[in-house]
Amino acid sequence: MDFDTVIHGGTIATASEIYEGDIGIKDGRIAAVAERLPGGGRRIDAGGRIVMPGGIEAHAHIAQESSSGVMTADDYLTGSVSAAFGGNSSFIPFAAQHRGQSVDEVIATYGARAARSVIDYSWHLIISDPQPEVLEDQLPRAFASGITSYKVFMTYDLMNLGDGGMLDILTVAREHGAVTMVHAENNDMVKWMNRQLAAKGLTAPKYHAISRPELAEEEAINRAIQLAKLVDAPLFIVHVSTAGGAAIVQREKLAGAKLYAETCPQYLALTRDDLDRPGMEGARYICSPPLRDHATQDALWRHIASGTFESVSSDHAPYRADQSGKFLNGFDVPYPKIANGMPGIAARLPWLFSEGVAKGRITLEQFVALSSTNAAKTFGCDRKGRIAPGMDADIAIWNPETRRKVTLADQHDNMDYTPFEGLELTGVPEIVMTRGETIVAHGELKAAEGQGRFVARKPVDLRGRGGWQAKEFDPAQNFGAELR
């Protein structure tokens, strides 16, 4: 067979092994992987560099209005370009339903926005208004169209579904093999803390961290898991920021849970002391859940290394430090009025490679799993996340030795700051491909606007995850009540 492209002389890294070899690409797919492959219309000399599946960014907010009406600075062009420079070949941003909207309307809106993407994309829905027509008709149709995951919130008055609402939607997800992602923080604990702080006039950015206690996350993670267990539905805990939360996830996974989780670089690279920077600079570090402390960072690393998390995701939520973003409500406002989130889609993988692989905290195989393979499996991207014949040729070639400092310009996003500014990193993605097309090469963008394609995803792969059977749902133990 003649190939369109052959990548030769690479150190191929997958989630399970590392070996020397060549990759032949034909019609956008990997056609062969072998020790030596001749031919190829184009030959790329990997020169011993790492050749791995392109990253899949499974948590990003792109061209999304928050529930309080702030639009992210990145649209699908700038957001996807930034992702590509960070070693990603595809991403799954959120498509957010605000109250009163139908899911069909949301998908049509984000379909138009995503037409600018340079990398392949899908969406996780955000559901804030699970009316009967959403649960019975709109969501099942969205799942059937390949949008097989969605996020719900246990916090924020405009988003929080309440425990009963969670049970209803989890039950629908279970029937269709969809994954429920959850933002787990106890809404009343946070509101109560806000009231205590406001009464004392403690409204500077640093109090954002105090207002959202670790216990609020831990309590909500535990509650979300028990709710999902009751109806035996798969659950994905997003942006875990606490040692206690991670320990609960670890324990429940060991018990056979249909449970998945991620953490994010900001919880490992930054602390709540960053919120106490001079003036309003701390506003740049406001995200929810909030940044924690060094002890938490150590614990989260242990959980990453021991398999508690499927992914390390960016939670790219780009709000500029101006009146279009962070300060939409004014420059000198109390912390609850400052937009919530920080950018990081380009920094995620270089940071994880450097702090994880280069510093010996995780193996290269774990890096591949955490950055790509596990997201593909969890979210049903059956042609992505692996180097194997038949898979999309979504490939990143990394130079593991290049050292550089993080700069805003390197992020290639539409932001006016990066929270990772100045960090010294080792390792850089030099060439990034989506379906065999080079989109970034040696710091230059090669992609054309709109070349990304929608990825229709499969239901979650539950092999190896036994799940739960609440006694009360077991016909042998519930007096025969037909509950499922």
Residue ranges binding Zn ion (CB under 5 A): 183, 315
Residue 335 vs 398, nearer CB to ligand DUC: 335
Q: Which of the choices ligand DUC, Zn ion, none does residue 178 contact, using the CB cut-off of 5 to 8 A by kind?
A: none
For ligand DUC, which residue of 214, 252, 310, 315 counts as binding (CB under 6 A)? Answer: 315
Taking the alpha carbons of 423, 240, 319, 322 in that order, is the dihedral positive or negative? negative
Is residue 326 a contact point for ligand DUC (CB under 6 A)?
A: no
Residues 44-103 that bind ligand DUC (CB under 6 A): 61
For residue 55, what are its two tokens?
């990253």
For residue 176, what are its two tokens?
């269709």
Is residue 340 a contact point for ligand DUC (CB under 6 A)?
A: yes
What lies within 8 Å, CB to CB, of 9 at 6+ separation is 20, 22, 45, 46, 47, 48
Q: Which of the choices Zn ion, ligand DUC, none does residue 203 contact, using the CB cut-off of 5 to 8 A by kind?
A: none
The residue count for binding ligand DUC (CB under 6 A) is: 9
Residue 66 vs 250, nearer CB to ligand DUC: 66
Residue 116 vs 183, nearer CB to ligand DUC: 183
Start-to-end C-alpha separation, the chain: 52
Residue 159 vs 432, nearer CB to ligand DUC: 159
Q: Which of the choices Zn ion, ligand DUC, none does residue 258 contact, using the CB cut-off of 5 to 8 A by kind?
A: none
Supply the minimum distance, in Å, between the C-beta of residue 315 and ligand DUC: 5
Burial of 481 (0-12, 13-18, 19+ CB in 10 A): exposed
Supply the minimum distance, in Å, between the C-beta of residue 287 and ligand DUC: 6
For ligand DUC, which residue of 51, 96, 190, 317 counts as binding (CB under 6 A)? Answer: 317
Nearest Cα neighbor of 12 from 400, 392, 371, 397 is 397
Residue 12 vs 317, nearer CB to ligand DUC: 317
Is residue 252 a contact point for ligand DUC (CB under 6 A)?
A: no
Q: Which of the choices Zn ion, ligand DUC, none does residue 340 contact, using the CB cut-off of 5 to 8 A by kind?
A: ligand DUC
For ligand DUC, which residue of 239, 383, 384, 457 counts as binding (CB under 6 A)? Answer: 239
Is residue 258 a contact point for ligand DUC (CB under 6 A)?
A: no
Supply the minimum distance, in Å, between the C-beta of residue 118 and ligand DUC: 23
DSSP states of 260-325: EEEE-HHHHH--GGGGG-TTTGGGGG--SSPP--HHHHHHHHHHHHHTS-SEE---B----SSTTT
* 409 to 85, 346, 421, 467: CA distances (angstroms): 11, 11, 10, 46
Supply the minimum distance, in Å, between the C-beta of residue 374 and ligand DUC: 18
Supply the minimum distance, in Å, between the C-beta of residue 340 and ligand DUC: 5
For residue 180, how many other CB atoms are within 10 A of its CB? 25
For residue 346, what are its two tokens?
């380009």
Supply the minimum distance, in Å, between the C-beta of residue 113 and Zn ion: 17
Nearest residue relative to Zn ion (C-beta): 183
Supply the minimum distance, in Å, between the C-beta of residue 239 and ligand DUC: 5
Supply the minimum distance, in Å, between the C-beta of residue 152 and ligand DUC: 11
Supply the minimum distance, in Å, between the C-beta of residue 289 and ligand DUC: 8
For residue 276, how many other CB atoms are within 10 A of its CB? 15
Helix axes 243-254, 294-306, angle to 10 degrees: 20
Burial of 217 (0-12, 13-18, 19+ CB in 10 A): buried
Is residue 245 a contact point for ligand DUC (CB under 6 A)?
A: no
Nearest Cα neighbor of 285 from 267, 299, 301 is 267
* 85 to 3, 246, 265, 318, 355: CA distances (angstroms): 26, 30, 17, 16, 18
Is residue 434 a contact point for ligand DUC (CB under 6 A)?
A: no
Is residue 186 a contact point for ligand DUC (CB under 6 A)?
A: no
Is residue 262 a contact point for ligand DUC (CB under 6 A)?
A: no
For ligand DUC, which residue of 183, 208, 212, 272 counts as binding (CB under 6 A)? Answer: 183
Alpha-carbon distance of 33 to 338, in angstroms, equals: 50
Q: Which of the choices ligand DUC, Zn ion, none does residue 12 contact, using the CB cut-off of 5 to 8 A by kind?
A: none
Q: CB-side exposure of 202: number of CA atoms within 13 Å?
A: 14
Supply the minimum distance, in Å, between the C-beta of residue 227 and ligand DUC: 19
Q: Which helix (H) or strand (E) holds 195?
A: helix 187-199
* 31 to 2, 28, 73, 380, 383: CA distances (angstroms): 10, 9, 38, 21, 13
Supply the minimum distance, in Å, between the C-beta of residue 57 and ligand DUC: 13
Residue 308 vs 340, nearer CB to ligand DUC: 340
Residues 280-299 that bind ligand DUC (CB under 6 A): 288
Enter the DSSP assignment of 257: -
Q: Return residues touching ligand DUC (CB under 6 A).
A: 61, 183, 238-239, 288, 315, 317, 340-341
